[in-house]
């Protein structure tokens, strides 16, 4: 068998490196507190990819955030860290959306609760199932900022700076976890042989 053919899986029997493999798709269409992904296959995948769309909060100006489950227990303490860049169509840019001690990782900008506004984006997750490493995420989101309304983008990264086995992901209203999500669709993937 030619080495090149084997390396790229052309003759079968070789993993399709980098392939997205769907783990689960979920949807919220009426007022719900959170969305949980509890079977993330963390022992199979070292890198996960989550895409979401049509996020709309029940309360005006709320934003989407995430928390991790560690060995089945949701981490709710102010231990998460993140740093983000926000840009708006009118030319406003800021990097002040950051924290070294928050109870969630900040994902998107504040969104109006009207039917015409929403937030969509994607996240990569690294090392979730490795209890010898920190769990990291990078994200990029886009939507209509609630106040103007003005088109905006948001990108950044976050970390759970403690070694643990992360075996679940919760999407929730980041700035007020007791509030509800009005609408959200999300899919979680594993990246093959990552």
Give residue limits of the domains in the chain.
26-191
Residues 184 and 56: their CA atoms lie apart, in Å, by: 7
Residues 6+ apart with CB under 8 A from 76: 67, 103, 177
Tell me the percentage of the chain whose pLDDT exceeds 70: 92
**What pLDDT sits at residue 159?**
98
Residues 35 and 78: their CA atoms lie apart, in Å, by: 20
Question: pTM score > 0.85 for this model?
Answer: yes
Model pLDDT for residues 88-97, shown as the tens digit of each residue: 999 989 988 8
Tokens of 124: 């990569």
The answer, yes or no, to whether the previous bond of 175 is cis (omega within 30 of 0) is no
Element at 5 (helix H, strand E): helix 3-7
Q: Is the pLDDT of residue 118 over 50?
A: yes
**What pLDDT sits at residue 12?**
52
Beta-carbon neighbour count of residue 143 at 10 Å?
Answer: 26
Q: Is the pLDDT of residue 182 over 70?
A: yes
Residues 6+ apart with CB under 8 A from 117: 56, 111, 143, 144, 146, 149
Tell me if 69 sits within 8 A of 38, measured CB to CB.
yes
Q: How confident is the model at residue 119 (pLDDT cuts 50, 70, 90)?
A: very high
**What pLDDT sits at residue 6?**
47
Q: Is the pLDDT of residue 194 over 80?
A: no
Model pLDDT for residues 25-57, shown as the tens digit of each residue: 999 999 999 999 999 999 999 999 999 999 999
Model pLDDT for residues 11-33, shown as the tens digit of each residue: 555 557 789 999 999 999 999 99
């Amino acid at each position: 068998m030619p080495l090149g053919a084997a390396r790229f899986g052309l003759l079968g029997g070789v993993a399709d490196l980098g392939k997205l493999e769907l783990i689960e798709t979920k949807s919220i269409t009426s007022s719900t507190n959170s969305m949980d992904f509890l079977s993330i296959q963390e022992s199979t995948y070292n890198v996960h990819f989550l895409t979401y769309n049509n996020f709309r909060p029940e309360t005006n100006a709320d934003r989407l955030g995430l928390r991790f489950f560690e060995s089945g227990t949701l981490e709710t303490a102010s231990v998460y860290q993140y740093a983000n860049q926000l840009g708006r169509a009118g030319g406003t840019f800021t990097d002040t959306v950051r924290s070294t001690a928050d109870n969630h990782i900040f994902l998107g900008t504040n969104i109006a609760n009207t039917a015409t506004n929403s937030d969509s984006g994607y996240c990569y997750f690294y090392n979730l199932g490795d209890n010898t490493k920190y769990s990291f995420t990078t994200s990029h989101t886009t939507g209509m900022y609630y106040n103007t309304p003005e088109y905006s983008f948001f990108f950044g990264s976050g970390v759970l700076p403690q070694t643990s086995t992360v075996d679940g992901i919760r999407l929730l209203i980041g700035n007020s976890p007791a509030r509800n999500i009005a609408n959200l669709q999300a899919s979680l993937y594993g990246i093959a042989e990552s």
